[in-house]
Amino acid sequence: MNEHEMLFSHIRRFTTLSADKEELLSTRLKYKKIGRKDYLLQEFQICNAYYFVLSGCLRYYRNTNNGFEQILQFGIQGWWLSDFHSFENQKPSEYNIQAVHDTEILILYRSDYEELFDSVPELNSYFRLMMQRAYSASLKKIELLLCESAEERYLRFTRSFPEFVQTVPQYMLASFLGFTPQFLSMLRGKKDIIHTNNIK
């Protein structure tokens, strides 16, 4: 598959681009393959791109005052990731974007951004819907953090993303869900016991 095709088929779910506009967009997107632990953004840098994940996984995290890495978002296949606040305001970022595994991405640089949104105005509608979905999803996460216990959050997440849970390091999953790796180990042990009892 052409490296842009995954993105185009994603865009087609929300809007229609002419062949000319797909061609123009292709010339502005940069394909990149990065290795595990490579950074796309580090704190204090100004974020100058949007990243679309073709394969692999990115994590968006900050270093907290007590030396902990707090993951706020994962970027998996078909997901856009950036520090949109730093990108928009050209202020230094407080966050890091790093590859969890070897990861393939398409990069849309800020230097092409204004011109591209003028030439392909359909991208405004596409990204409006992307941002709206991301906003709704993050409001749902706030709700779960406020209303559910750590155990309920863990069970909900493993049911919703069973394959992802198998591939991401456990300490990262614990950070994302808001508890310690020790607490996660305890929950996993408990779940295995429940599972073993069920299949006896």
Residue ranges that bind a second copy, judged by CB under 8 A: 62, 64, 68, 70, 72-73, 84-85, 88, 117, 121, 124-125, 127-129, 131-136, 138-143, 145-147, 178
Amino acid of residue 102: D
d(CA 111, CA 124): 17
Q: Which is nearer to a second copy, 152 or 192 (CB)?
A: 152
Q: Which is nearer to a second copy, 55 or 70 (CB)?
A: 70
Minimum Å gap between C-beta 51 and a second copy is 15
Minimum Å gap between C-beta 178 and a second copy is 5
Q: Which is nearer to a second copy, 35 or 90 (CB)?
A: 90
Burial bucket for residue 118 (CB in 10 Å: 0-12, 13-18, 19+): exposed
d(CA 148, CA 44): 34
CA separation (Å) from 190 to 24, 147, 168, 195? 53, 22, 20, 9
Minimum Å gap between C-beta 169 and a second copy is 18
Minimum Å gap between C-beta 134 and a second copy is 5
β-bridge mates for residue 41, sequence order: 97
